[in-house]
Amino acid sequence: MGAMFSLKLPTAKGPFHVGCTDFMIDHTREGSFCRLYYPCEAVEQSRPPLWIPRYEYCAGLVNYLNRSRWSIPLLNLAFGYQTVPVAWNAPFRAEEKYPLIVFSHGLGAFRSVYSAICLEIASHGFVVAAVEHRDESAASTYYYRTAAGDVEQLPEETCEDGTPSAVPISPQVAQPGLKEVWLPVVKLKTGEEEFPLRNDQLRQRVQECSQVLNLLTDINQGKSVNNAFVGNLCPSVLKDCIDLQRVAMMGHSFGGSTSVQVVAEDPRFRCAVALDSWMLPLSEEMYSKDPGTVFFINSEKFQTEETISKMKRLQSWNNKIKIITILGSVHQSMTDFTLLTGNLLSLAFETKGTIDPQEGLEIIQKATLAFLQRHLDLPKDFNQWDALVEGEGDHIVSGSPPLT
């Protein structure tokens, strides 16, 4: 079954140290909000960010899960102390160009819920931009409006001289004169059909992913951008360090269908990795044309005969579309929750299957890297895991398992 499960996120195994920062470029709702994982210089003392960046996200999760508000402090007690094993705002390793992955979260999630996958990929020499969507599919998110005269105070743990601190950091520090506006997740009304809402959200999500690529393209070209957060990594350090010829999408559930749609619409993205993709938001029109290059990595317990048939309809267009299933996995096996929940919470929310959580995530990470090498023409040795892309190995099958 692999290593003994422990309630923390694993450190990265790749050859690069991993840094992390948040960008909110254009503080309004129409701007871009993402968490950046990137190769960084080694630092003696690292500032680990909290896994749940703000208490408000606990409230958002409780609201999304339709639990009592009394559950908010309990959720914060269970997860509020967890940190991500990366160096917050560590110096960017500006010694080469890195391929870029834009990551899209699932319904009811937010930018830090897939930290284990994102930081592991970054440790192998990628810049990973995890979008926080403002289509009201996130458990909660926020933007700022201008509030003249309102000046936010710096939290005590902020180091004015930029010296790294071992204290976990949260919340973000906004520029003076900005006021937070929080967006809760939108819920279906009684009797409301789901497809129109989700398809509208999908279109906004696609636009937001392309906008993040636009933003990072501008930064790579040396254009000045203004981060709403004070004291975070200066965007200008990424100049000439992003390989814009090697860009891919990745996402889970709603983020999986978002990734499929992005690659079909924006040719700058060369391929997509769709983790347990939720196929409902995709319109019928999607299946009438070549969608591009997509790698579907499915859990054993989420997909149905209908959704698998939709994936196979897309696969009929070209032989670059791959479908594999991780046996013993559930939908939440692709998120950090599978690593951070004990047996009791796992039973309540089905965050674990029968496969060891770390082993399942390692399959996802290695298969993803092998697929990216193949379709981004990377000069790496990730092809050592090519068999996984074909569905060959322990705990995986090509296509879908026999339906019981």
Positions marked catalytic = 253, 276, 331
Contact 402, 308 (CB under 8 A): no
Give long-range contacts, CB 8 A cutoff, 24+ apart: 363-368.
Answer: 363/326, 363/388, 363/393, 363/395, 363/396, 364/117, 364/275, 364/297, 364/326, 364/334, 365/117, 365/120, 365/121, 367/295, 367/297, 367/324, 367/396, 368/117, 368/121, 368/250, 368/273, 368/295, 368/297
Indicate the DSSP class of residue 378.
Answer: -
With beta carbons less than 8 A apart as the criterion, state whether 271 and 294 touch. Answer: yes
Q: Tell me, what amino acid is at 229?
A: F
Residues 6 or more apart whose CB falls under 8 angstroms from that of 66 comprise none
Are 37 and 130 contacting, i.e. CB atoms less than 8 angstroms apart?
yes
Interatomic CA distance for residues 130 and 108, integer angstroms? 15
Helix (H, G, I), strand (E, B) or coil at 140: strand
Rounded CA separation 311/364 (Å): 18
Q: In 132-213, where do the E strands start and end?
A: 140-146, 178-184
